[in-house]
């Protein structure tokens, strides 16, 4: 990546890490709460912190993710077994915000799994429910390493320099960006090792590849139509703005689509220097 590309990505990440971002015109975080004093006091009683970032079970990535574990909940069951044998470590289980989103809530939830397994009774677990706007990024900064199933926050954590232990196949696991053991036994062994050792050596390629992958995902493969959308009456939905057809046809996204269809193009956004 050149200096201009790095600056563009850094600008995006600076806003993202503060919760200042939208998806399809929707701003999901009204604010992002820092780790409070009660959490920090609890964490001070442990040797190390390990966050566990979960997914929503209905996410379209999930059928493709289950190459090591049967599903995310089997992974969580394994994690719980390890949690019970490592009382020196504070595990922070972070439910995905989409779990309880209005008109889009999951039928199977991490919150339900936590209740059914009695997880909150474990003295070395903090459960962060879907409605809490706690900063995952501050949590990553204070952690020894990060556990994910296949959430994109694993890619962001790699960019932050954290060691990331991944349990499910993701878009980015085809490149060296995270630690991704290929069997349940290998995963358990790696998890136990990460908890036991004093430090984890993260290959320099992980951060570099993660930055390149995220840049390409954000600014080349994603075709933005944000200029033609606005928030709807329902906070989880968008609607079309009024616009001239010419503006749509001349947009970067439609230009990439037309080039792909008519000229056997690659459907990627063109990069304009200085943009």
Rounded distance between C-alpha atoms, residue 238 and residue 24, angstroms? 7
Task: Using DSSP bridges, classify how beta strands 125-128 and 89-94 pair: parallel, antiparallel or unpaired.
Answer: parallel
Helices (H) and strands (E) in the chain, counts: 11, 9
Q: Cα–Cα distance between 265 and 253 in angstroms, integer?
A: 13
At 28, give phi and psi (nearest 5°): -85, -30
Per-domain residue ranges of the chain: 3-220, 227-262
One digit per residue, pLDDT tens: the chain, 275 residues? 999 999 999 999 988 887 655 544 445 555 667 888 889 999 999 999 999 999 886 665 667 889 999 999 999 999 999 999 999 999 999 988 776 655 555 568 899 999 999 999 999 999 998 888 788 899 999 999 999 999 999 999 999 999 999 999 999 999 999 999 999 999 999 999 999 999 999 999 999 999 999 999 999 999 999 899 888 877 667 889 999 999 999 999 999 999 999 999 999 999 876 54
pTM recorded for the entire structure: 0.86
CB-CB contact of 51 with 146 (8 Å): yes
- The CATH superfamily label for domain 3-220 reads Glycogen Phosphorylase B; (3.40.50.2000)
Pairing of strands 89-94, 22-23: unpaired
């Amino acid at each position: 990546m050149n200096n201009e590309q790095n600056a563009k990505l850094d600008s995006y990440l600076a806003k993202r890490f503060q919760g200042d971002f939208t998806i399809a015109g929707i701003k999901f975080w009204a604010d992002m709460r820092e780790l409070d004093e009660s959490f920090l006091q609890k964490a001070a009683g442990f040797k190390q912190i390990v966050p566990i970032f979960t997914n929503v079970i209905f996410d379209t990535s999930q059928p493709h993710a289950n190459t090591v574990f049967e599903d995310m909940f089997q992974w969580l069951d394994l994690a719980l077994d390890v949690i019970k044998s490592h009382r020196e470590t504070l595990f922070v289980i972070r439910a995905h915000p989409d779990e309880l989103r209005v008109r889009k809530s999951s039928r199977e939830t991490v919150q339900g799994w936590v209740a059914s397994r009695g997880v909150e009774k474990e003295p070395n677990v903090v459960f962060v429910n879907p409605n809490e706007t706690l900063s995952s990024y501050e949590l990553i900064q204070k952690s020894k390493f990060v556990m994910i199933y296949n959430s994109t926050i694993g890619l962001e954590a790699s960019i932050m320099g954290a060691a990331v232990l991944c349990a499910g196949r993701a878009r980015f696991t085809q490149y060296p960006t995270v630690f991704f053991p290929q069997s349940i036994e290998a995963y358990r062994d790696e998890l136990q090792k990460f908890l036991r050792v004093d430090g984890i050596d993260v290959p320099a390629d992980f951060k570099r590849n993660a930055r390149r992958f995220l840049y390409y995902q954000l600014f080349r493969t994603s075709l933005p139509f944000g200029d033609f959308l606005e928030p709807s009456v329902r906070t989880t939905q968008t609607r079309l703005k009024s616009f001239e057809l010419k503006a749509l046809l001349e947009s970067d996204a439609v230009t990439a689509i037309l080039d792909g269809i008519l000229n056997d193009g690659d459907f990627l956004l063109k990069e304009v220097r200085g943009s």
